Amino acid sequence: MAEITLQQRLTLLLDGSPLTPTQRWLWVFSTGGTLLDGFGIFVLGVAMPLIIAQFHLTPDVVGLIGASLVLGAVFGAGLGGPMADYLGRKPLMLVDMIIICAGAAASALANGAVMLFIGQFLVGVGVGVDFPVSSSYVSEVLPKRSRARSMVATIACQSVGMLLAAAVTLALLKTVNSAQNWRLFLATEGAIALLFFLLRLSEPHSSHWLMSRGRFAEATESFIRLMPEQRQVVLQLTGNAGNQSLATSVASATSPGIAILFSRAYRARTVLVAAPWFLMDIATYGVGLFTPIILSAIDTSGQTAGAITHDLAATRGSGAIDLFLLFGFLLGIWAVPKFGRIRMQAIGFASMACAMLLLMIAVRLSNSSLHIPLVFTGFILFNLLMNAGPNSTTFTLAPILFPTQLRATASGFAASVAKIGATFGVFVLPILKGKFGVPAVLGMVVAVSVLGLVVTLVFGREDTED
């Protein structure tokens, strides 16, 4: 009981402390994976028309390359979560950036579809590892009053990454008139990953994780870095931890394993954190990765010029639309703490379905003056409410609903299942578009959005586990 009481007292101390400059910087360092996730989706989507033109890829191969990014994330998240619960948050937050650097370099130097597939797969592995680790880390180093907004802000950096990618790709397309621009797009991703690796070298281990492993001396140092004004209180509390307490905590520090997620105590929570995220990612990654291609198919620009000019027009349209991803996250930062995760998740799924129905109407009104306004309204509504709802909430649910010793494992499992959905989406959508047209793609997104709404309403819960 002494060990449990000590953890509870230190947790209450951290939860009640003000947000310090150190904690703000640690949050910034933790955003690398989500930022690079958005960056990677956008640059690959913009690069794809140039890659297709250079390597003369078939729709099946295009789908495989798009799927490689999220297929890698399936493995990364599935392995990264349990490893982070066993080895700690910080080591995995360094390793994942190294993996992304390697994958970006391989992608930029690719001489064909195979090497490009391998490079993007590695990028996906790194991003997948980072998702459960960064969400767990943020939930464990910030005070309670800042936690919900900061976790939504972490996933919001997907949109920041997309907007950064839009700025980079537009600048390169305007200044470097070359069909090889796609190599520069992908290489930039590696440079950003290297920057985050260097920044993360200075961050402390998660104090909660250290306490759960019985490493009191290191936990003390970590708590003091997070709350320097509480130095004396922390030293007094941890100094009172006796040998019996330490032995007890070490004995109980073994990771319980993924099977416990399906026990009676946790199975409903596991469904809630995994199934809606799976369904959302089918829609999110499929629509996000192929937004330039969908815009081109719907023919909003009217461009009939060469590949560079056409790609530039589609990139402008995608960048304008993706700006509303950020607006959606900003709305979510305010709305999720105010109205609750489950309510916002339900609203988001319902709005995503309505947005895709608008796009289906727009496709049928291709010769009408309402065509272009409906196209952009549909995309904007989709991006805005998706990010204010399920894209904010699914990322934050597992760290809230599961205890420290299970937090990264549960987050990793949920993210891995989600990336299976994303893999399915980015692989199937281009094939579906090629065989049945854009309306079939939009119809599938409507279906998965409605199913996500149903699962959320059936299994939804707001309670937390510290």
The distance from CA 28 to its chain's CA centroid, rounded to whole angstroms, is 15
| Regions of the chain short of the pLDDT cut 50 | 1-4, 242-253, 300-304, 465-466
- Residue ranges of the alpha helices (H) in 258-339? 267-289, 291-298, 307-339
Candidates 170, 202, 204; CA nearest to 184 is 170
Give per-residue pLDDT as tens, 341-381: 899 999 999 999 999 898 888 878 877 777 778 877 888 88
pLDDT the model gives residue 277: 93
pLDDT the model gives residue 166: 84
pLDDT the model gives residue 304: 47
Percent of the chain residues past pLDDT 70, beyond the cut: 84
Residue 320 gets the label, from left (phi > 0), alpha (psi -120 to 50) or beta, of: alpha
Start-to-end CA distance of the chain, whole Å, equals 16
d(CA 163, CA 39): 8
pLDDT the model gives residue 241: 53
pLDDT the model gives residue 436: 81
pLDDT the model gives residue 158: 84
Q: Cα torsion for 400, 404, 405, 408, to the nearest 10°?
A: 60
Candidates 250, 280, 245, 253; CA nearest to 397 is 280
pLDDT the model gives residue 460: 84
| Amino acid residing at 386 | M
* 3-state SS, one letter per residue, for 33-60: HHHHHHHHHHHHHHHHHHHHHHHCCCHH
Question: What's the angle, vertex CA 218, arms to CA 217 and CA 219, rounded to 5?
Answer: 90
Candidates 126, 90, 128, 93; CA nearest to 208 is 90
- 100: which residues sit within 8 A by CB, 6+ positions away? 36, 122, 123, 126, 127, 189, 190, 193
pLDDT the model gives residue 296: 55
User: Is 311 in contact with 49 (CB distance < 8 Å)?
Assistant: yes
Q: Cα torsion for 163, 377, 428, 101, to the nearest 10°?
A: 0
User: Is 124 in contact with 3 (CB distance < 8 Å)?
Assistant: no
Backbone angles phi, psi at 457, to 5 degrees: -70, -35
Question: What's the angle, vertex CA 174, arms to CA 170 and CA 175, rounded to 5?
Answer: 120
Sign for the CA dihedral angle at 172, 176, 179, 180 comes to negative
- 108: which residues sit within 8 A by CB, 6+ positions away? 119, 183, 184, 186, 187, 190
What pTM did the predictor assign?
0.79
pLDDT the model gives residue 3: 46
Q: Which residue bears the tokens 């759960």?
A: 212
d(CA 433, CA 159): 25
Domains of the chain plus CATH, in order, are 2-459 (1.20.1250.20)
Sequential DSSP letters for 94-152: HHHHHHHHHHHHHHHT--SHHHHHHHHHHHHHHHHHHHHHHHHHHHHHS-HHHHHHHHH
Q: Which residue bears the tokens 């767990």?
A: 136
Backbone angles phi, psi at 429, to 5 degrees: -60, -45
d(CA 128, CA 418): 10
Give Rg (Cα) of the chain.
22
